[in-house]
Amino acid sequence: MNFDWTEQQLESKKSIGALFDKDALDELDKLESADVPEIKSTILKYMKLLAPSGYLKAAQGPEGAGESLALTAAQEEVSQASSPLFLAVEATVRLFGGLVAGFGSDDLKQEILNRLAEGEILAGVGISEAEGQQTTAVERGDAYALNGAKAFVTNATIADELAIFGTVDDKHAFFVIQSEAEGVNIGPKLETLGYRGLAVSSVELVNVEVPKSRVLGPFDDSAALDYIRMVEAMVLTQASIGLSRRLLNTATAYAKEYKRGGRQIIKYQEIGFKLAELLTLVQTAEWMGRRAAWLVEKGDSEAATVANCAKVFSAESAEFVASAAMQIFAGAGYISGNIVERGYRDAKYASLAGLSNEVSRMTIADDILKRYQI
């Protein structure tokens, strides 16, 4: 298992990192208070900037799994610069784009994937059902009539395209719909505790007509859903790692500059030990994320389980790092508007999003029982 980046990967990582200079970071920080049109224009701006690097078409679909480990080198740069940007781009490219690349028809791939690779459109994937709802479709000639409601859909209010999970006669399917299609009702952007620069909302579907050419499935198995859950776990892992790394760097810089009793606080053993513990957590999360990507690349049967392990560990590590970073900042970190305060709110997201950490642990345990026949 070799995690050394090639010269080409290092060059790509460097060029992507160079996009996020101080002016760019200041602009991306403003996503926190931006309205929906501003969020969309900012995300599209940086997608256009990322497009020449190939970032927007890497590792799409199961056939692109061979690029998974190399992709993490670039993901680390984007996620550390801005978690909302990272999650919005990944929802568009890796989740939505991965579904189309892996399970869509040739015509659908041709219609959508080039536009994604050029950073021309935004997209989202709706899986979680709204309370009391079940998303189902009924065949009507050359199309399906789709009804239901989805909760917590990332990018919904800024998306041009959506992939909606539902069932047809108890079989799984994803329905690729345009956000402005008749019968698609997108709710307002939700006011969330953290990641306020992320456009999350509900989606209601009332007799939405979806041509069969835009339907992925219906499937006799859960392969498409299993794939998107694994990718989702890997994306949330990288989001947590990027956030943790940024908070660690911020706390370290503060500890070097701020003095108490005439000494830099980093010279106090308690602060030094705390930073050492945070670095240990961040490094471990990074290696777990890379190992999960390596297993995906190799097509290992344990890849999905390790992806869930990485997601659980990195999400809970991010919460710990955010809390410790605020402790290092003390009162200054408790004031609204700074990176540490925002990171403290953002850190909780990954343990709730996708499969919650509790469900992820159940999935991991189920695999252990199956794999070792306990």
Output b/e per residue, 44-60; b: 16+ Cβ within 10 A.
Answer: bebbeebbebebbbbbb
Rounded to whole angstroms, the Cα distance separating 163 from 108 reads 12
Percent of the chain clearing pLDDT 70 (strictly above): 99
Rounded to whole angstroms, the Cα distance separating 40 from 201 reads 14
| pLDDT at residue 4 greater than cutoff 80 | no
Specify whether the CB–CB gap between 69 and 38 falls below 8 A.
no
| pLDDT at residue 21 greater than cutoff 80 | yes
Phi, then psi, of 268 in degrees rounded to 5: -80, 135
pLDDT tens column, 260-303: 888 999 999 999 999 999 999 999 999 999 999 999 999 999 99
- pLDDT confidence of 346, banded at 50, 70, 90? very high
As a whole number of Å, the CA-based R_g of the chain is: 21
pLDDT tens column, 94-148: 999 999 999 999 999 999 999 999 999 999 999 999 887 899 999 999 999 999 9
The fold of the 7-117 domain, in CATH, is Butyryl-Coa Dehydrogenase, subunit A; domain 1 (1.10.540)
DSSP per residue, 172-229: EEEEEEETTSTTEEEPPPP--SS-TTS-EEEEEEEEEEEEGGGEEEEESSSHHHHHHH
| pLDDT at residue 1 greater than cutoff 70 | no
- Which of 5-14, 71-80, 301-310, 323-332 shows the lowest mean pLDDT across its residues? 5-14
Q: What is the per-residue pLDDT for 12?
A: 87
Read off the pLDDT of each residue in 71-100 and give the average, rounded to a whole number: 96
| pLDDT at residue 3 greater than cutoff 70 | no
The fold of the 223-371 domain, in CATH, is Butyryl-CoA Dehydrogenase, subunit A; domain 3 (1.20.140)
Domain ranges for the chain: 7-117, 123-219, 223-371
Q: What is the per-residue pLDDT for 62?
A: 83
* Helix, strand, coil tally for the chain in percent (to 5): 60, 15, 20
| pLDDT at residue 63 greater than cutoff 90 | no
- How is residue 10 written in tokens? 């290092």
Using a 10 angstrom Cβ sphere, with 0-12 exposed, 13-18 middle and 19 or more buried, the burial of residue 373 is exposed
The CATH superfamily holding the domain 123-219 is Butyryl-CoA Dehydrogenase, subunit A, domain 2 (2.40.110.10)
